[in-house]
């Protein structure tokens, strides 16, 4: 099946039924600022690509502007607001793997789009219908590794990734000469810029760190990338920007780390999304289906949209075919550190055409020159590349510093040609890009960047100016209000509180005193808690569930543990030892502790582990440690993959019974077959030798016999 998607050498298919979801909900109150928050952790588990994935995720709302809006746009330009559920977007880690990072979208239908980054590999999950027509109505997903991205599918990587539009001098009628532009940039880069405490050597700490963007998708994108579904289109766009934002915010923008420190945390926030569901009637519109146009013409028409002036950047996503010689995947205007030059972030108006144009624009094409839909990882890198231009970076020059060899990490994001994301540097900006972008940020970010907004109606947190906040609720494609709380985060008439925000609230009414609001928590050694029912003001501290007091030290808690200072500690830890798993099969399903001599032994008297408890080789079942077949298979292939004498010996020791059986079968089955074959040959030869000759009967006349009489003689013919 790997040939079905040219960009991938190998992938696997999973279904929504293969993914398990679990929620851990925790409500807490902050008494210092009178706010309440519901914290929900999501455990997402599945197995594919020969490994298990255990993802610990939280809702990710950092990329949403407080005044976020989303619209569909028809052929006449009429807008219709649509609902976007940001509760479907997550960020998190892979459980137990330090340095891991996860960005995911999980739709209401269970279909997931995710980037799972570990120390040694990056895994991608995306809907299969984007790439295979026979899965158009399927809830299946493809999973592939970064290392399985095809470097040369149709030689696409040998073609220029994008064109860039040079910054335009607003005081003249043409583009600034390239050499002059480079000279100006170098001057800006190496001058002592006295912003904040930069001149004193102190790190510059910007407060306005987010570029508010408008994302626009044309009708080609809506048709081919979203199956005519506004929800699918918008979720795709948000997921792409979320991952691009992760690249930018984790970059330290510096010109020379030894000369002066850099600054980071600069990223994006989505302020508006526009989705064209029909071709525009106006033939010269960027969304028109009329005629065959170049990528430059489309971007020029998009830049003519007067709405661009309201945003830090506007970015167009399209799936349209361009002219035959247009093989690029993106295009963007490059920002200049000079404040009077238009293009890129926070651009001034370009009046050279007689009417103001705000070229703070770029575009990403989700269809490559061979007509294939690019994979999500490619879309992220292309978009990051174009946003890099919009922030002031040009293509990396051919120097060892900014275009290293593959052995030294490979090209960076701003390489002239498309990168697959396989090499180490593919996800980072080069030193050249950092210097250019740093100069632009210092010069222009104060114009249009905004402060990060963590307080807004709809984030499930009751803040100072709100009476309630039930999060974003959906009813079809419009915003709606909850049972107790309206869309302005004000209580509904007759409501005292909101069940969503207060544990001592039932049916929008304050619970009476004595109502149990929290069960005993053995994990955290907390007693039961009850509502006090005394206050009539909603969301005061006293109206919440009273803080549960810790149980007495020494009380029993989970798995024979003991409570100490409000925490449940393991049994072995409570008696001054370390918990461990016994290796001997006869001891494997009994509670074991590590003694002072570093040996692991069962406790006396013996304490059997309950069925289903993990043991050294699998899980306990009636005090017997049952091995799991899938563990053996997985370990076997791991040994084959990393075959060394040490790993082989370790494998033989860990699976001694199975190893003896397998080795015996490997040796004796061929020998037995050979002996049996030899015996069969010998028996056949012996039977052939003993077989009598067969003749057919016939009659012939005979002369007189030896006794002078005539006789009848039987003659035999050999057949």
Assign residue 507 a region (left: φ > 0; alpha: ψ between -120 and 50; beta: otherwise): left
Query: 């396989």: which residue's tokens?
Result: 422
What beta strand segments (E) does 189-239 contain?
210-217
Yes or no: say if 329 and 368 are a contact pair by the CB < 8 Å rule: yes
Is 398 marked as a binding-site residue? no
Element at 246 (helix H, strand E): helix 230-249
Task: Read off the tokens for 3.
Answer: 């040939």
Q: What are phi and psi of 27, to 5 degrees?
A: -105, 135
Yes or no: say if 42 and 21 are a contact pair by the CB < 8 Å rule: yes
Is 285 marked as a binding-site residue? no
Task: Read off the tokens for 619.
Answer: 């899980």
Q: What's the sign of the alpha-carbon dihedral 149, 150, 152, 156?
A: negative
Bridge partner list, 40: 25
**Residue 453 known to be catalytic:** no
Bridge partner list, 150: none
Bridge partner list, 117: 101, 122
Nearest to 658 by CA among 625, 636, 634: 636
Nearest to 338 by CA among 141, 477, 183, 200: 183
Task: Read off the tokens for 183.
Answer: 């000279």
CA dihedral (514, 515, 520, 526) in degrees, to 10, reads -60
Yes or no: say if 384 and 415 are a contact pair by the CB < 8 Å rule: no
Q: Is 221 helix (H, G, I), strand (E, B) or coil?
A: helix
Find the catalytic residue in 272, 386, 423, 503: 386
- DSSP strand pairing (210-217 vs 313-318): parallel
Distance CA 521, CA 557 (A): 9
- DSSP strand pairing (341-342 vs 600-602): unpaired
Distance CA 321, CA 366 (A): 10
Is 139 marked as a binding-site residue? no
Residues involved in catalysis: 386
Annotated binding site: 385, 389, 395
Annotated binding site for Zn(2+): 385, 389, 395
């Amino acid at each position: 099946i790997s040939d079905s998607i040219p960009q991938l050498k190998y992938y696997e298919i999973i279904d929504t039924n293969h993914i398990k979801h679990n929620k851990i909900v925790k409500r807490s109150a902050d008494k210092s600022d009178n706010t309440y928050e519901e914290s929900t952790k999501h455990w997402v588990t599945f197995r594919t690509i020969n490994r298990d994935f255990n993802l610990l995720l939280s809702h990710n709302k950092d990329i949403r502007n407080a005044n976020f809006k989303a619209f569909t746009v028809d052929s006449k330009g009429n807008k219709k607001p649509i609902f976007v559920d940001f509760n479907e977007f997550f960020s998190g880690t892979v459980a137990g793997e330090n340095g891991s990072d996860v960005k995911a979208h999980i739709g209401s239908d269970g279909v997931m789009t995710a980037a799972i980054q570990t120390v040694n590999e990056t895994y991608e999950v995306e809907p299969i219908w984007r790439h295979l027509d026979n899965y158009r109505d399927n809830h299946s997903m493809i999973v592939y590794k970064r290392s399985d991205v095809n470097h040369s599918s149709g030689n696409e990587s040998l073609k220029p990734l994008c064109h860039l539009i040079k910054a335009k001098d607003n005081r003249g009628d043409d583009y600034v000469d390239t050499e002059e532009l480079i000279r100006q940039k170098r001057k800006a880069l190496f001058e002592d810029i006295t912003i904040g405490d930069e001149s004193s050597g102190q790190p510059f700490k910007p407060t306005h760190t987010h570029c508010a963007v408008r994302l626009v998708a044309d009708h080609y994108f809506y048709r081919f990338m979203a199956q005519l579904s506004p929800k699918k289109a918008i979720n795709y766009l948000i997921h792409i920007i979320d991952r691009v934002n992760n690249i930018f915010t984790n970059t330290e923008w510096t010109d020379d780390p030894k000369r002066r420190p850099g600054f980071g945390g600069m990223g994006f926030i989505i302020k508006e999304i526009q989705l064209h569901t029909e071709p525009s009637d106006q033939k010269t519109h960027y969304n028109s289906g009329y005629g065959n146009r170049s990528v430059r013409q489309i971007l020029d028409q998009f830049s003519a949209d007067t709405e661009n002036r309201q945003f830090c950047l506007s970015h167009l996503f399209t799936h349209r075919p361009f002219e035959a010689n247009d093989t690029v995947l993106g295009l963007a205007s490059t920002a200049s550190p000079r404040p009077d030059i238009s293009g890129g972030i926070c651009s001034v108006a370009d009046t050279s055409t007689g009417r103001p144009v705000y070229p703070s624009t770029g575009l990403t094409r989700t269809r490559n020159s061979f007509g294939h839909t690019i994979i999500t990882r490619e879309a992220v890198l292309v978009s990051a590349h174009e946003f890099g231009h919009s922030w002031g970076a040009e293509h990396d020059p051919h120097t060892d510093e900014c275009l290293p060899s593959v052995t030294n990490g490979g090209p960076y994001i701003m390489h002239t040609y498309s990168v697959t994301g396989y090499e180490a540097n593919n996800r980072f900006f080069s030193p050249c890009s950092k210097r250019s972008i740093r100069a632009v940020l210092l010069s222009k970010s104060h114009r249009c960047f905004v402060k990060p907004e963590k307080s807004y109606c709809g984030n499930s947190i009751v803040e100072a100016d709100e009476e309630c906040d039930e999060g974003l609720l959906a009813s079809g494609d419009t915003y709606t209000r909850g049972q107790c709380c309206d869309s302005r985060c004000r209580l509904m008439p007759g409501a005292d509180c909101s069940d969503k925000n207060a544990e001592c609230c039932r049916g929008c009414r304050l619970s009476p005193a004595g109502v149990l609001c929290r069960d005993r928590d053995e994990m955290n050694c907390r007693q039961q808690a009850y509502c006090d029912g005394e206050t009539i003001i909603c969301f005061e501290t006293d109206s919440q569930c009273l803080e549960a007091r810790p149980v007495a030290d020494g009380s029993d808690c989970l798995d024979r543990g003991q409570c100490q200072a409000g925490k449940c500690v393991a049994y072995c830890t409570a008696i001054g030892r370390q918990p461990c798993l016994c290796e001997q099969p006869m001891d494997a399903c009994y509670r074991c502790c590590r003694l002072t001599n570093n040996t692991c032994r069962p406790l006396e008297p013996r304490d059997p582990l309950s069925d289903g408890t993990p043991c050294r080789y699998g899980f306990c079942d009636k005090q017997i440690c049952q091995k799991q077949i899938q563990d053996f298979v997985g370990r076997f292939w791991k040994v084959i993959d990393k075959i060394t004498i040490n790993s082989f010996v370790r494998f033989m020791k860990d699976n001694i019974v199975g190893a003896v059986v397998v080795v015996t079968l490997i040796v004796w089955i061929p020998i037995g077959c050979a002996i049996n074959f030899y015996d069969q040959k010998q028996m056949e030869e012996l039977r052939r030798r003993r077989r009598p000759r067969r003749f057919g009967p016939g009659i012939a006349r005979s002369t007189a016999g030896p006794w002078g009489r005539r006789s009848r003689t039987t003659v035999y013919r050999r057949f």
